[in-house]
Copies of this chain bind each other. A is one copy, B any other.
Amino acid sequence: MSPARLYRILHPETTDGAARIFRGVHHAMVGIGIGIMFADSVAPWRRVCGPLLDLGFGLVCAFFCAEYGLRFAAAAGAPGAEHRGAGRARLAWAASPGGLFDLLGVFPALLDPLFGPYRAGFFALVWALKPIRYAAGLKRLGRVLTHSAEALLSVLLGFGIVLVIAASLAYLVERQIQPRAFGSIPAALWWAIATLTTTGYGDVVPQTVVGRILAGIVMVTGILVFALWAGILASGYGEESRRREFLRIWQIVHDVPFFCDVGTAVIAEVAQLLRPRDVPAGAVVFHRGERGERMYFIASGEVEIRLAPQPVRLGVGQFFGELALLTGAPRTATVVAVRPSTLLALDLVDFHELMARRPELARIIRAEAERRLAAPEVPEG
């Protein structure tokens, strides 16, 4: 297998069969590995089925060894690697954070005896991080956090200042009565953080009146920290999700011939309104007689309109379901996807807004709808 093919299989965004299978096995191995480490740490299980656990551990390590080798080989197939030469590309990967991390998940297994009782904790920890590479959603959340990093860190700084102040005050107030729990500022800090995060273990509780008033203020401040972070992230996430959704749909809209005819400016506008919807083969898009709340454009696949004389099929770039929006009447036919399809749904609210703003688009859709009404054998959903 060529490095380029290997690279594609190992890449998180590849969607063909081999890549899916590899990912499935990888995730299963991570799950099994962590499960074995969990079991390994429970003394009775360790006693009863120790050899079995060691065998499993060996297998999982072997898989991750093989994965390391594959990734090392695949590094030569990465885009741009041909310019640098296979060897340098591989070494660059081995020295990259991803490469070093993969090594960390494998190499210590060779030194297994040295780890002794710490093995279970160490590997559960390292392997738990492996799925991050494949989690596109986590990367997106990371981007939101990065964009809002300054504000989040400011809250954290304020959090730290409140912590030190609360711990100092509690130390001053409570040390006489509870010399064990509040006998030093670091000890009081333990109380302060459990209170400020509203965790409230209850192992350390202020007893004096002043200490309890202080605790009340700290708790309320803790709620404020929660609320500030929530506010910052609500703002940041809304922005990020708007951008991402747009890029995804923009890509799809380009494949719909219908939109190519109406010009670039309209595409940008339409792309912000459409919601992609993946339907499996055989799925019913809508039933006859339902109220029409959205129309659909076909981005990929094929649908069948179940009309009376004989069903009609529509393919990529065609649209359906617009008549119910224009007339307000219920759906006149059931529509079923005959192949796995991606539809772009345009909601009633956005449909009418768009019609009002873009007369040229309205004209095309109305003309098509009238043509379909005149020729009843043409579907209109």
Chain A interface residues (CB < 8 Å from chain B): 34, 37-38, 41-43, 79-80, 117-118, 120-122, 124-125, 128-129, 131-132, 135, 137-138, 140-141, 144, 150-151, 153-161, 164-165, 167-169, 171-172, 175, 183-187, 190, 193-195, 197-203, 205, 209, 212, 215-216, 219-220, 222-238, 241-243, 246-247, 250, 254, 264-265, 267-269, 272, 287-289, 293, 328, 347-349, 352-353, 355-356
Given A120-B185, A131-B157, A247-B349, residue A151 in contact with residue B241 (CB < 8 A): yes
Instruction: Tell whether, in the assembled complex, residue B128 and residue A150 are in contact, meaning their CB atoms are under 8 Å apart.
Output: no
Instruction: Tell whether, in the assembled complex, residue B151 and residue A140 are in contact, meaning their CB atoms are under 8 Å apart.
Output: yes
- Note all chain B residues with C-beta closer than 8 A to A175: 117
Given A220-B159, A234-B230, A287-B80, residue A43 in contact with residue B183 (CB < 8 A): yes
For the complex with contacts A38-B184, A41-B171, A231-B232, 16 further pairs of A-B residues with Cβ separation under 8 Å are A41-B183, A41-B185, A42-B186, A42-B187, A124-B185, A128-B160, A135-B157, A141-B155, A190-B216, A200-B201, A226-B227, A231-B238, A250-B349, A264-B356, A265-B356, A272-B349
Given A202-B201, A352-B265, residue A157 in contact with residue B185 (CB < 8 A): no
Instruction: Please name the residue on chain B nearest to A79 by beta carbon.
Output: B289
Which 10 A-B residue pairings sit nearest by Cβ, starting from the closest?
Answer: A137-B154, A231-B233, A265-B356, A268-B352, A199-B200, A227-B229, A231-B234, A197-B219, A201-B202, A202-B202
**Nearest chain B CB to A289's CB is how many angstroms away?**
6
Instruction: Tell whether, in the assembled complex, residue B153 and residue A137 are in contact, meaning their CB atoms are under 8 Å apart.
Output: yes
Instruction: Tell whether, in the assembled complex, residue B219 and residue A228 are in contact, meaning their CB atoms are under 8 Å apart.
Output: no
Instruction: Tell whether, in the assembled complex, residue A138 and residue B157 are in contact, meaning their CB atoms are under 8 Å apart.
Output: yes
Distance A205 CA – B181 CA, assembled complex (angstroms): 13
Distance A225 CA – B229 CA, assembled complex (angstroms): 10
- Note all chain B residues with C-beta closer than 8 A to A237: 151, 228, 231-232, 234-235
Give the copy number.
4
Interface majority SS (helix, strand, loop, mixed), chain A: helix
Distance A132 CA – B159 CA, assembled complex (angstroms): 12
- Note all chain B residues with C-beta closer than 8 A to A347: 243
**Nearest chain B CB to A244's CB is how many angstroms away?**
10
**Nearest chain B CB to A342's CB is how many angstroms away?**
16
